[in-house]
Structure 1
């Protein structure tokens, strides 16, 4: 499980460094801050952040609102606007973006933490993604799991399989870890990509990590995952096993 990766775009380096220090103290992974539109795009392309904090007023021809439109249309991840004062025209431009959260200067540590939390939730809702499992969110290619009041990221590609455990779901990952999240395996499995297949009422597998299969079980990294009779025919058909 990795930390939520955040990019700060702010042309006043003292403010940018302060934001980065606070985010690191809160437990997030923080990228090297960008000071303008062009630098921000280079970092986004190279690092693929999970979220960005954008100052509206940036040096250069394009400002934070322009950058937000590019993120929304080309990269599709949540962002927070950082601002102190803005004219009516800028506010109108911002409103059209329906940003997941705002952060107003000057701000406190708790304000920053709250804005990040709200941005993740609001972004998920804007995409029609309901809260999948209590305080955990399924967004694009990852599960954002809340542990000790902070979201952490489990990339879907790193999940080997999931197992139902009463009102919880056990998530087994490629690094040998097991993460426990609250929710229904049935509801959650319906929201996963096509490479996740239900093999049993208690198991869902990531077929990309499947090593072998027969009529009774699937092998993943030396572990036998059972195949229930109600799922066998559909599973074998999906993975084109005759």
Structure 2
């Protein structure tokens, strides 16, 4: 099942916060929380599912966006974008200390925000993994896969993938209720997935947790037959023994 990307917004100007929320909804993202000061935001970010945070640098209260950025940077599990009305050298240098994944100057348009988010997700993914997928709009972050669907990124939970079928430079990702087509080589894609995904054929990867039965030269996943080739048979049974 696909999920919308969840974004947390930290902004103390009510009009700007409402604008950001509207823009995010228009491009298909979900606002999972909003706050106007840093300490409240930090508590909520740790307690809810967040895929990316947008942080205003200058906030009300004792702590500012730089302080919050440090906390998120130390946490290391989500990307963040700085938002500010000030583009002077001192502000920029201070903001860059904690390696933001994006930087937006107010005022901005919907496409500016969308572009910053997409770049931030990809930059974070490239830091978190050793080998990015070449020539693709797909991004892996923690236990989720973000795939390009028209003009937005759609989030899939990796363990919801039942099996993957290669078709040249494209892959079919088979989930419970639907199928997604992404651009990637099977070998490159396999290196980005957790160990429960095993190659059983030159053209197939399977999620071992979804396998229902193993027969002579095939296995079934959700009632669908997937071929097993002799060259990958030992790898399959060896993986089953280690579970």
Please indicate, yes or no, whether the TM-score normalized by the shorter chain is above 0.5. yes
Q: Secondary structure at the match of 2:33?
A: coil
Deviates more, 1:48-57 or 1:221-230: 221-230
Q: Which residue of 2 aligns with 1:134?
A: 136
Question: Whose relative contact order is higher, 1 or 2, with alpha carbons under 8 Å and at least 6 apart?
Answer: 2
Question: Residues 165-204 of structure 1: matches in 2 within 5 Å?
Answer: 165-174=167-176, 176-204=177-205
Q: Which residue of 1 aligns with 2:32?
A: 31
Normalised TM-score (structure 2): 0.90
In 2, are the aligned partners of 1:215 and 1:232 still within 8 Å (CA)?
A: no
Q: Which residue of 2 aligns with 1:116?
A: 117
Distance 1:40 1:218, change over 3 A: farther
Q: Which residue of 1 aligns with 2:231?
A: 230
Q: What are the ranges of 5 or more consecutive residues in structure 1 without an aligned counterpart?
A: none
Q: Which residue of 1 aligns with 2:152?
A: 150
Deviates more, 1:25-34 or 1:89-98: 89-98
In 1, are the aligned partners of 2:7 and 2:33 still within 8 Å (CA)?
A: no
Q: Which residue of 2 aligns with 1:40?
A: 41
Q: CA deviation at 1:91?
A: 3.6
For the residues of structure 2 that align with 1:125 and 1:234, how far apart are their CA atoms? 29
Q: How many equivalent pairs are there?
A: 240
For the residues of structure 2 that align with 1:132 and 1:73, how far apart are their CA atoms? 28
Distance 1:211 1:72, change over 3 A: farther
Q: CA RMSD in A?
A: 2.0
**C-alpha deviations, 1:169-216, integer Å up to 9, x for none?**
000113x20000112112211221111111111110111222232452
Normalised TM-score (structure 1): 0.91
For the residues of structure 1 that align with 2:208 and 2:63, how far apart are their CA atoms? 44
